[in-house]
Amino acid sequence: MGRRDLAAGGMTILVTGATGTIGRQVVRQLSAAGADVRAMTRTPTAAKLPPGVDVVYGDFEQPESWSAALAQVDRVYLFPFAYLAGSVPDDGFVTAAVRHGVNRFVVHSAAAAGFVAEAAPAGALQTHLEEERAAHRDVEVAVERTGAEWTHIRPGLFAANALGWAPVVRAGQPVRAPYGEAGYPWVHEADVAEIAVRALLSDQLVGQACTITGPAKVSQAEQVRAIADAIGREVPFEELTPAQAVDQWRSEGCPEEYLEWRLAVLADAVDGTGRLPVTSTVHQVTGREPRTFAQWAVDHAEDFR
């Protein structure tokens, strides 16, 4: 997989956020490739990761935990949500990692990091995208400035967001949402992890920022039909008016500052793919087409039954 294949060389890769949706996939794929994997988590006893993975306690907000996690580590999969929340001390985990000898970072970023301000209409959506872009670029730039090798993994919106519907689907209730035709090229977490693993195990993607999407726009109504097909029973979709949606989200505890933005994101995605066009990254990197939302629904059918 390149001139420095870690699976063959016996070097150690640290995966942060190792028990999250993407982190678990990264750990499993690295382990299957024969890499020496260390998984950093705040709950090691509940991690349930593959045999042979070195599971250690680590917390971005607890600098005293970093040395044990970073000892003899060469490369890091950085899932930086603590950075985005501003909770990492100024000297930071990235700086500590370089001091410990880390020579490559694969940063879990977001498609918004490549956002161009002029591409979005004024209002809540543009404000949100600009804030998200700045937050993710801050982490990317911090890594770039270390002089270590880097790859930025920039996924679009995750198919796994549909898991928010799982409780009502399991209860036999309709999925209720505004803008049924709104959709994005939802990305399967396994595709994101596969590209991250390529970046960790080979030199193929050094110095690149990889924006990753699914193969095509899938509307909310189409998502629900795919879930119904995967579980073998009807799942009704009930379209709400914007006002009804705000009332529902408010009753579910959605913070007031997110209500306008949630509506704007969906309204923007009724025509085309909104601010997130389909990319060919998965095909370019792996030689195959990205997994579809229908495949994601099959893979997660048990979550909806």
Q: Return per-residue pLDDT of the chain as tens, 305 residues.
A: 443 454 445 689 999 999 999 999 999 999 999 999 999 999 999 999 999 999 999 998 899 999 999 999 999 999 976 666 565 655 689 999 999 999 999 999 998 888 765 555 556 666 667 777 778 888 899 999 999 999 999 999 999 999 999 999 999 999 999 999 999 999 999 999 999 999 999 999 999 999 999 999 999 999 999 999 999 999 999 999 999 999 999 998 999 888 988 898 898 889 765 667 899 999 999 999 999 999 999 999 999 99
55: buried, middle or exposed (CB in 10 Å: 19+, 13-18, 0-12)?
buried
- Kindly give the interhelix angle for 256-268 and 242-251, rounded to the nearest 10 degrees: 140
Q: Which two tokens stand for residue 15?
A: 């995966």
**Cα–Cα dist 260/168, whole Å:** 23
| pTM, entire model | 0.90
CB-CB contact of 34 with 7 (8 Å): yes
